[in-house]
Amino acid sequence: MGKSSNPVLIILAYFSIYVIWGSTYLLNKIAVAELPPFMLAGIRFGFAGILIFGIAKLSGHSIVISWRQLKNTTIAGFLFLTFGNGVVVWALKWVDSGFAALEISALPLVVLLLMRFLQGKKIQKMSIVGVVLGFIGIYLLVSQKQIINQENSVLGMLMIFACMLSWGYGSLFVGKADLPRNYLVNTGYQMFTGGVMLIISSLLLGEKWISPIHWSSAVQYSMLLLIVFGSIVAFTSFNYLLRVVSPEKVATSTYVNPIIALGLGWYFLNEQVTSQSIVAAVILLTGVFFINTKKKIVVFSRFFRQG
């Protein structure tokens, strides 16, 4: 843990990036059925950024930052939100919400490899065990024919993989960059700049904008939940965790998110959850356990020493 870390805040932050973010796949899937993807994401993050600025001011925090911090928050906003999230929302037009969440479960491996090649950090053996278990679980999930045999699913998968690289690099970038110390201010600038770039992208791509009064009630509620919880609460928690724990531990949220996404998809969208999916879910969660505990498990520590 880093300086000024609070165990209770860390637990709540993990709940946010595990459970709340897991629900955003369902909410985005509902909204993108009616709204253009970059318009959807741009409104979500732009409006959330403005609200966060308001919350920061009411809390007595100054939102004045340096030009260097503005540049860094803009880069982070692009990596995480403009490309990293906007393209995922676009891909949801072609792939199921559960499948998107499952593919993004590979993010911990991407982060570990980027840390190895860009920072020269040694990969811990227990983390490797966790990643291997995670990929076994992912394989069991995505190898099901009813998931992969969908129109344009390959294109969607490739674009989501590109988003994973963007998120992985962004996670390392914000861990070292000069950013606003206050998490609300930091999140607000990333949200606002990312949202502005998404809106510009929407206009350049010629997306047809739809007035909120013409949205269905399901889309209206989805957008409200995405802004308040998926953006403000969860993304602030994400930025907080990146400063107090290691990036690969933050990335473990992508192992839990698919389980939440599958459950919500089954309940609200009648998506099928097979026994193979349940087995895969157990393996994925076991992978999270190994990555978080690393060398704390005596049996496996002895095994590695003997090996």
The rounded percent of the chain whose pLDDT value lies above 90 is 48
Residues 6+ apart with CB under 8 A from 214: none
User: If pLDDT is split at 50, 70 and 90, which confidence band does 147 have?
Assistant: low
Residue 303 has which token pair?
């095994």
- Cα distances (Å, whole numbers) of residue 282 to 11, 135, 145, 150: 21, 12, 20, 26
Mean pLDDT of 116-144: 81
Is this prediction's pTM over 0.75?
Answer: yes
Q: Which residue has the higher pLDDT, 240 or 212?
A: 212
**Residue 220 has what pLDDT?**
96
Alpha carbon 209 to its chain's center: 26
Domain locations along the chain: 7-306
pLDDT bucket at 293, cuts 50 / 70 / 90: low
Integer Cα distance of 266 and 305 in angstroms: 43
Length of the chain in terms of residues written: 307
Cβ pair 171, 118 in contact under 8 A: no
Q: Are 52 and 236 in contact (CB under 8 A)?
A: yes
Residue partners of 222: CB distance under 8 A and separation at least 6: 27, 28, 30, 31
Q: Quick one: average pLDDT of 186-194?
A: 94
- Enter the tokens of residue 234: 């969860």
Mean pLDDT of 48-69: 94
Alpha helix (H) residue ranges in 143-274? 145-148, 153-176, 183-204, 217-225, 234-244, 247-250, 253-269
Q: How far is CA 23 from CA 40, 66, 176, 223, in A?
A: 16, 35, 29, 12
C-alpha closest to that of 159 among 66, 85, 78, 237:
85
pLDDT digits (tens, 9 = 90+) for 104-120: 877 777 887 788 888 88
Write out the two tokens for 292.
Answer: 């978080």
Confidence of residue 298 (pLDDT cuts 50, 70, 90): very low
